[in-house]
Amino acid sequence: MKEQTADPIAIALREDVGAGDITTEFFVPNGLHALGRIIARERAIVAGGQTAAEVFRRVNPKLNVEVLQPDGAALLGGETILEVRGAAGSILTAERVALNFLQRLSGIATLTRQFVDAAGRSRAKILDTRKTTPGLRALEKAAVVAGGGANHRFNLNDMVLVKDNHLSAGSGFSGFASAIQRLRQERPAIRIEVEADRLEQVRSFLEIDGIDVILLDNMKPSEMREAVAFGKKKKVKFEASGGVTLKNVRQIAATGVDYISVGALTHSARAIDMSLELTHVGN
């Protein structure tokens, strides 16, 4: 079994298999071969097929794995997502970890697609956040893309996002503009976003050169619409955040914002119902 430092597949297998799969060792004869199929039991958008395939290969490189449904594929339920052929014991050892990744990531992709569809034909892009499972951020953000969403920053080094706590911990608004100017001089290519929870803040931020995006935090749709109107003459984009649900995302999108960030995409997605069926067992 291949193991790598900070490798989520290696970590998951080490966590699940431990010192060995005792059940398979005692109840599945050596030399027994089988065909395993992972099947979706409900409607879903697929994500994580290649990750699940890699789980099987890590357990036994001799397994023949074929991903039949690519990331982003829309399933009605009943379709086979992946087939794996080879040693029955190895398939059973890898089963749970492969399913955990595939169910979790497909759940994120499915929820993302629901938000994208619910937003309607607006220009607003549905974004994820950093509210991800520790160690699984790259996989979960890829699942968001598979569902039709887009990625916000991957980590704290990707872009600047100044929130109210940063202003409270720093020199307050008095030193804010000079900090923006200094940042633009030292890091001219960096994207700068600032958070506003009041229209007065939006007006103030629009007076400062160098800001790329203003995040409208927990504002009412009427306030968002007004904020967007303020910024029409500026090359500033607007992001809505806070309290976004499938019920209100279309109303938010209709305000004219450019982005809508939804933490629920990664922190509240329900795992999709899937199972592995073992067939054609033989020597």
Q: Annotated active-site positions, please?
A: 96, 131, 163, 195, 217
Q: 98 Cβ partners below 8 Å, 6+ apart?
A: 38, 52, 53, 55, 56, 82, 276
Which residue type, as a one-letter code, is found at position 218? N
Give the DSSP per-residue string, 182-197.
HHHHH-TT--EEEEES
- Which pair of tokens denotes residue 189? 């290519």
Q: 143 Cβ partners below 8 Å, 6+ apart?
A: 47, 48, 71, 105, 106, 108, 109, 112
- Which pair of tokens denotes residue 249? 């995302």
CB 45 within 8 A of CB 80: no
Q: Is 95 helix (H, G, I), strand (E, B) or coil?
A: helix
CB 252 within 8 A of CB 221: yes
Distance CA 172, CA 165 (A): 10
What Å distances lie between residue 225 and 26, 148, 260, CA to CA?
65, 25, 13
Half-sphere exposure of 196 (CA within 13 A, CB side): 23
